[in-house]
Chain A
């Protein structure tokens, strides 16, 4: 029976198991011709090509002494350690080649070098002795063999893996001929370029720099105003001033947060199966805020990994721990709870190791790591730190904490200010209208003048019978359909009616002697509608607006207000009629009194939509005959109390009623304003969801080594500890997540600072100084500039982990400011720009592309933070894929400003990620990812050409263009600059002019086509411009937005 299968989902590798090496009998026989012609030829040419092409980074070492870490470790790791490495269980011939004493002890490096077993093995062509063995699928190149020989001749010295030793502080050499360097970064870079006989590229022009810096620091291209300001700023530090402005902007935090969201696998749904929504955006706000306020990276780390464990943790610190609850959570009935809980903890280990240490730690989930000194035991000791959350696997949404967004504090302050201002206005208005404070405290002077009426006609939708009783009430008998609706017509002589009252009265004929016809005696009055007509024109009914409803009693969640909410649904006024058998009263006051010269006809509809015959059994109607609305029922209790005994809230209610019912129009307006503002404040301070956060069980869960990584196969018990190969955690640190977080940001930790600065470097240059930004282990790439990496890391820590300072240092360098244009030689020598012989030119990320269109068109909303939004989206896409009724819902597109929020706020459904962003390599966010691929596909062209977001943006850009100038050429210049941050060349202007004129012709002859084009998008059309002209310019704008340059950081 085959061994159980490696369960580790993400990062196990092909050669993970030694069994593979014994697979000879299993491998497919290779057809001989192909073997010779294809396989071998391929391999040779491949290797040849590889050797030729990698010269840029390696041949220059030819003159130097062989360095173990740079030159030898990659070869041994790749070709030898699988069988002769850290994994003790699968070590062949008891030979360990990753550590010096073990290797030497074995005697394979005996003198003379040529005769040593090591040389004999690696140069052998005999399949029985040659290393690596042919069945491993690995082989050494001639160059590699030569290198190994040189290394052995130089004494076969070993070094510890570079990334596990603390960064070394080396000052860059001062070069007297260096007029290029602005800061130490440049000196390191230049040193290397000189060594390769390369020189840096010239400095990029002003426009390029402005565009590059704006896109890099805020993810947005500069606006036309910013371009103009920069153009005219001739001061020496103009560039630096822009850098500072950008670093200070709110958009900086949003842009930086976006990269963090990929790493934090942030999404708005739970992932897995039904992929329901979750609300984790308050945590996202925390990230934006932390970045904008330049929280030091060590604190940023500690709060997110262990904010809850900080002594006297603030709510915001607890909120920060949402970081490790962002992983997918399953709701699939039938899964085993513990299996998924284990996956969540493993995800935390994987994410922590990747983001902070650049380690592929999860390779050790099932067995000791094959390449790095991380044992399986190390893995589960690390696992133990994250294993103590009081969570479940199935529906594991708790623990949660209701903490406001950091941006809310500011908004609440604003709301309070607005309310104070409105109060002042009210006071002034009240004074002018002669209302005094004293008066506002008095009981209302006007009597309620109610007149009971029996409706003249009554119709029941379900043909129930109406029986008029002696007390002028009406009792329903007979048919009792599930949802009945009564229509009453009252012919009144009155000329001023300000309200209608409906009493629901008990009756012995009902189930429980109460007022409802429902099977339990209750009723739900879903909606009350009133219309009025004059007896002179008895068929012309007009709707009567109901301003307020009040009742002497409303059941919880069935407020009488629901009977006037305009929704004819299951909600409405109910009275607990099944348990509380009482007569009840509701009053519906009109916005303005109704009435006609010759009396009034009222048509009243009482609609019951709850189902189960929840309709009123016996009711009595009355009309209020006065110009002012009746005193609310609730107020009568307040009015009955002596002034001194009324509470503040009661005083306030009374006052408000006075103001709204008896105040002058000005007073009424001010009072309404206050009510509205107060409602907004209440919404603000309660309208945010609870966020999933971390907590710690009082008694830690036991953690075991899981045999082969399986959740239910327990090995030895382990306790939380950091990997043995890294510096130990000081004894003073608590042995929990807090200790772990502090350990990660200890200045002597060899990985955290390096990995972090490398990730930022990758953001700017496309590739990190270490190319494998997520793998700093043995299999990772050798840094292109090891000394620079260390210098940056040390500097970063010494600055107090000051992120903005680090980024400023990078973008102020001459290295960063180089032009992207280069020479053939430099390109051949440095094809991937690893040597930094030119400026970075990269295709922009999905979010930046969409945001660029919003900036160019002037549509972008600059609001920061808040819940995710639902911009334009192809109809039916969610339902097509994730389609179960009751679980999945259709995509409910937003309208207005929410269509134009930054893309980082777009709702992210893991199983159906936002399609126009997915086309540009945005990930599903199902797991931690710290770099994206960068592809070019026709699907991207479709998005840019046809996504309504872009077509609409082009129309708005056209509008701006038309306003900008009178001259076509100047207009083109303006629009082009909005898109590409530079003026067009004459040739470019000519092409665009030709396009413009062709389209003018087309749209003048076909207004239909123009209307179609201009109809895209929800925003309103500017009607002052002729459609043909606007359409022609929209086409020009579309051309501009579809250029390669639009999606490129120059």
Chain B
């Protein structure tokens, strides 16, 4: 008869297995590396991070490829794509070109969507809102986003973003996973895999959806925060504004905290008995998972209960701050998540896709997000957190300078992948600057080879700020090495870094 193993011995062997597992896959997850290099970690006992790869605490911040500027990211994704012409890409030249047909020489064979491909003319429309300079830096921002004027010196506006996709699904999938078609891990999953969690009782990657108000808004898809080929503990955990804040978090049986503890203790005792009998170290992992679930039942309600916020703070975020599911409320939660060590916080705001009636509809969307987004930056700044928190704001592509349908007062703008604007703040990005420029028609990037920022460049920049080399953060799956930024030569945008 084979002697039963002491569970500790087994545990060590299992840890070895898991570590080996990472390297057999050729992955360069930095936290995975950390667990290998740091003998204390194994001695510290079974952590989820050690067993699963990082993603759930108590993971240890892993060594990075180079010193990180940012410890966390808050990504305010403007789904549907806001118009750069009417927000951040100041184009005085359009005052005089307004109403003129976009010359073919400018469009230069650019692919059109099925929505405007049958349109006979392409009259350009200047911004329907005036632009003004703000802050010491004198950044040009449109009146559409009045609260943004207050953070003009903190944000870096990239006016030379470009992408490859022209339709929503492939474009947003490309932005968030580095590929137009499904099947790749999302940015947040990569960061969770690469850096692990800093929190003991919250996941590394949290997703929030602003409550949608536009009946024609674009839908979202689980793949945008999915883990695809990475282990699925790296997928984003949705923090909901209605129902259970985290799926199945709440006890449907009305148990109180003491009940829960007693109940959990019975489970743990039983699991320990079994572990001692069969020596399966995975049982320890499961015990830890239940313990963290228990902690989350306290930590999540603590997180979402904003009653400890000062009136001043609530005022900063505006009247929506206490209305669950609004952008302002979610931005406030984002700050609270950031304080609690969550690595990657993704907020989606839907409804920017205005193919018709844009001058009437854009202001509504702008009003929904303007104050919350700006307040988040201001709030982080006054707390000294902006230095190591990277905030990103932008859509999946831009909108055309020419009108789609309608007349001079009511028109839409179609999808435009060739140039659009996005801003970044904090986390090692230089504030108060604009980067890149579009031509007088606002249709193409000037000197794209030098100043163009491709989606992969942006993602490379984000990884870079988090201390990761986008060419080294890879994961081997079924014999192939995958990474976020594709196979072409892309690079972080150095010019905007502090």
A residues apposed to B, CB below 8 Å: 1-3, 5-7, 9-17, 19-20, 23, 26-28, 30-31, 34, 38-39, 41-42, 45-46, 49-50, 53-54, 137, 201-202, 271-275, 328, 330, 332-336, 343, 360, 363, 394, 772-775, 777, 779-781, 819-824, 827-828, 831-832, 841, 843, 874-877, 880-885, 887-888, 910-913, 915-916, 918-919, 921, 924, 926-927, 933-943, 945-948, 951, 985, 987-988, 991-992, 994-995, 998, 1002, 1009, 1012-1013, 1016, 1035, 1038-1039, 1042-1045, 1047-1048, 1050
Please give, as numbers and ranges, the residues of chain B lying within 8 Å of A824 by CB-CB distance: 5, 9-10, 13
Question: Could you jot down 18 A-B contacts, CB within 8 Å?
Answer: A2-B489, A14-B471, A17-B487, A360-B479, A775-B478, A775-B479, A820-B278, A823-B2, A877-B247, A882-B221, A885-B215, A938-B203, A938-B290, A939-B246, A947-B248, A991-B266, A1044-B280, A1045-B274
Is the pair B10, A14 in contact by a Cβ cutoff of 8 Å?
A: no
Is the pair A938, B296 in contact by a Cβ cutoff of 8 Å?
A: yes
Please give, as numbers and ranges, the residues of chain B lying within 8 Å of A913 by CB-CB distance: 222
Q: A987-B273, A988-B273 are in contact. Are A38 and B63 (CB under 8 A)?
A: yes
Chain B: CB-nearest residue to A875:
B243
Is the pair B184, A9 in contact by a Cβ cutoff of 8 Å?
A: yes
Please give, as numbers and ranges, the residues of chain A lying within 8 Å of B274 by CB-CB distance: 988, 1043-1045
Is the pair B219, A360 in contact by a Cβ cutoff of 8 Å?
A: no
For window 458-473 of B, CB contacts with A under 8 Å fall at 464, 469, 471-472
Is B293's CB within 8 Å of the partner chain A? yes
Measured in the bound complex, the distance between the Cα atoms of B168 and A884 in whole Å is 14
Q: A50-B23, A937-B48, A942-B247 are in contact. Are A774 and B483 (CB under 8 A)?
A: no
Please give, as numbers and ranges, the residues of chain B lying within 8 Å of A926 by CB-CB distance: 182-183, 223
Ranked nearest first, the 9 interchain pairs of A and B with the lowest CB-CB distance are: A9-B181, A775-B479, A779-B479, A941-B293, A938-B293, A334-B113, A831-B17, A926-B182, A16-B487
Is the pair A822, B181 in contact by a Cβ cutoff of 8 Å?
A: no
Please give, as numbers and ranges, the residues of chain B lying within 8 Å of A1047 by CB-CB distance: 286
Measured in the bound complex, the distance between the Cα atoms of B287 and A1023 in whole Å is 35
Residue among A14, A775, A1047 facing the most chain B CB atoms (10 A cut-off): A14
Is the pair A939, B480 in contact by a Cβ cutoff of 8 Å?
A: no
Please give, as numbers and ranges, the residues of chain B lying within 8 Å of A933 by CB-CB distance: 227, 230-232
Is B37's CB within 8 Å of the partner chain A? yes
Measured in the bound complex, the distance between the Cα atoms of B217 and A394 in whole Å is 20
Minimum distance in angstroms from B123 CB to a CB of chain A = 20
Measured in the bound complex, the distance between the Cα atoms of B478 and A363 in whole Å is 13
Contact mask B11-35 → A, CB, 8 Å, 1/0?
Answer: 0011011011101100000000100
Is B365's CB within 8 Å of the partner chain A? no
Please give, as numbers and ranges, the residues of chain B lying within 8 Å of A935 by CB-CB distance: 52, 231-233
Question: Which segment of B250-258, B307-315, B374-382, B433-441 sits at the interface?
Answer: B250-258
Is the pair B267, A272 in contact by a Cβ cutoff of 8 Å?
A: no
Q: A53-B16, A832-B21, A935-B231 are in contact. Are A780 and B67 (CB under 8 A)?
A: no
Please give, as numbers and ranges, the residues of chain B lying within 8 Å of A991 by CB-CB distance: 266, 269-270, 273
Measured in the bound complex, the distance between the Cα atoms of B481 and A363 in whole Å is 12
Measured in the bound complex, the distance between the Cα atoms of B480 and A87 in whole Å is 16
**Contact pick for A924, options B33, B182, B248, CB 8 Å:** B182
Is the pair B253, A822 in contact by a Cβ cutoff of 8 Å?
A: no
Measured in the bound complex, the distance between the Cα atoms of B263 and A881 in whole Å is 34
Please give, as numbers and ranges, the residues of chain A lying within 8 Å of B289 by CB-CB distance: 936-938, 940-941
Measured in the bound complex, the distance between the Cα atoms of B233 and A202 in whole Å is 34
**Contact pick for B240, options A880, A918, A937, CB 8 Å:** A880
Chain B: CB-nearest residue to A780:
B479
Measured in the bound complex, the distance between the Cα atoms of B65 and A49 in whole Å is 20
Is the pair A828, B51 in contact by a Cβ cutoff of 8 Å?
A: no
Measured in the bound complex, the distance between the Cα atoms of B481 and A823 in whole Å is 34
Is the pair A5, B164 in contact by a Cβ cutoff of 8 Å?
A: yes
Is the pair A1039, B2 in contact by a Cβ cutoff of 8 Å?
A: no
Is the pair B262, A998 in contact by a Cβ cutoff of 8 Å?
A: yes
Is the pair A938, B56 in contact by a Cβ cutoff of 8 Å?
A: yes
**Contact pick for A31, options B66, B230, B483, CB 8 Å:** B66
Please give, as numbers and ranges, the residues of chain B lying within 8 Å of A30 by CB-CB distance: 65-66
Q: A46-B36, A53-B20 are in contact. Are A911 and B223 (CB under 8 A)?
A: yes
Is the pair A936, B248 in contact by a Cβ cutoff of 8 Å?
A: no
Minimum distance in angstroms from A24 CB to a CB of chain B = 11
Is B427's CB within 8 Å of the partner chain A? no
Is the pair B183, A821 in contact by a Cβ cutoff of 8 Å?
A: no
Please give, as numbers and ranges, the residues of chain A lying within 8 Å of B121 by CB-CB distance: none
Measured in the bound complex, the distance between the Cα atoms of B255 and A1013 in whole Å is 9
Please give, as numbers and ranges, the residues of chain B lying within 8 Å of A774 by CB-CB distance: 478-479
Minimum distance in angstroms from A133 CB to a CB of chain B = 15
Please give, as numbers and ranges, the residues of chain B lying within 8 Å of A16 by CB-CB distance: 487
Is B206's CB within 8 Å of the partner chain A? no
Measured in the bound complex, the distance between the Cα atoms of B48 and A940 in whole Å is 13
Is B180's CB within 8 Å of the partner chain A? yes
**Contact pick for B16, options A27, A820, A828, CB 8 Å:** A828
What range describes how many residues of B lie at the interface? Answer: 35 or more
Is the pair A26, B489 in contact by a Cβ cutoff of 8 Å?
A: yes
**Contact pick for A943, options B179, B212, B248, CB 8 Å:** B248
Is B96's CB within 8 Å of the partner chain A? no
Q: A330-B169, A831-B13 are in contact. Are A1016 and B449 (CB under 8 A)?
A: no
**Contact pick for B252, options A360, A946, A1043, CB 8 Å:** A946
Please give, as numbers and ranges, the residues of chain A lying within 8 Å of B98 by CB-CB distance: none
Please give, as numbers and ranges, the residues of chain A lying within 8 Å of B489 by CB-CB distance: 2, 17, 19-20, 23, 26
Is B91's CB within 8 Å of the partner chain A? no
**Contact pick for A916, options B19, B248, B254, B486, CB 8 Å:** B248
Q: A53-B16, A328-B182, A1044-B282 are in contact. Are A2 and B454 (CB under 8 A)?
A: yes
Q: A14-B481, A1009-B254 are in contact. Are A942 and B3 (CB under 8 A)?
A: no
Measured in the bound complex, the distance between the Cα atoms of B37 and A228 in whole Å is 50
Measured in the bound complex, the distance between the Cα atoms of B220 and A874 in whole Å is 17
Measured in the bound complex, the distance between the Cα atoms of B48 and A697 in whole Å is 54
Is the pair B52, A1039 in contact by a Cβ cutoff of 8 Å?
A: no
Is the pair A50, B20 in contact by a Cβ cutoff of 8 Å?
A: yes
Chain A: CB-nearest residue to B485:
A14
Chain A: CB-nearest residue to B269:
A991
Chain B: CB-nearest residue to A998:
B262
Chain A: CB-nearest residue to B180:
A9
Is B498's CB within 8 Å of the partner chain A? no
Please give, as numbers and ranges, the residues of chain A lying within 8 Å of B280 by CB-CB distance: 820, 841, 1044, 1048
Minimum distance in angstroms from A841 CB to a CB of chain B = 6
Chain A: CB-nearest residue to B207:
A881
Is the pair A1013, B254 in contact by a Cβ cutoff of 8 Å?
A: yes
Measured in the bound complex, the distance between the Cα atoms of B449 and A41 in whole Å is 37
Is the pair A17, B488 in contact by a Cβ cutoff of 8 Å?
A: yes
Chain A: CB-nearest residue to B286:
A1044
Is the pair A1012, B243 in contact by a Cβ cutoff of 8 Å?
A: no
Measured in the bound complex, the distance between the Cα atoms of B456 and A20 in whole Å is 14
Measured in the bound complex, the distance between the Cα atoms of B230 and A881 in whole Å is 22
Chain A: CB-nearest residue to B475:
A14
Please give, as numbers and ranges, the residues of chain A lying within 8 Å of B269 by CB-CB distance: 991
Chain B: CB-nearest residue to A29:
B66
Please give, as numbers and ranges, the residues of chain A lying within 8 Å of B232 by CB-CB distance: 918, 921, 933, 935
Minimum distance in angstroms from A316 CB to a CB of chain B = 31
Is B283's CB within 8 Å of the partner chain A? yes
Q: A17-B488, A23-B471 are in contact. Are A884 and B217 (CB under 8 A)?
A: yes
Measured in the bound complex, the distance between the Cα atoms of B330 and A418 in whole Å is 60
Please give, as numbers and ranges, the residues of chain A lying within 8 Å of B270 by CB-CB distance: 988, 991-992, 1039, 1043
Is B167's CB within 8 Å of the partner chain A? yes
Is B304's CB within 8 Å of the partner chain A? no
Is the pair B293, A945 in contact by a Cβ cutoff of 8 Å?
A: yes
Measured in the bound complex, the distance between the Cα atoms of B481 and A1039 in whole Å is 42
Is the pair B212, A883 in contact by a Cβ cutoff of 8 Å?
A: yes
Is the pair A942, B279 in contact by a Cβ cutoff of 8 Å?
A: no
Minimum distance in angstroms from B256 CB to a CB of chain A = 9
Q: A911-B221, A945-B248 are in contact. Are A985 and B277 (CB under 8 A)?
A: yes
For window 391-413 of B, CB contacts with A under 8 Å fall at none
Chain A: CB-nearest residue to B32:
A46
Is B43's CB within 8 Å of the partner chain A? no
**Contact pick for B267, options A45, A772, A1043, CB 8 Å:** A1043
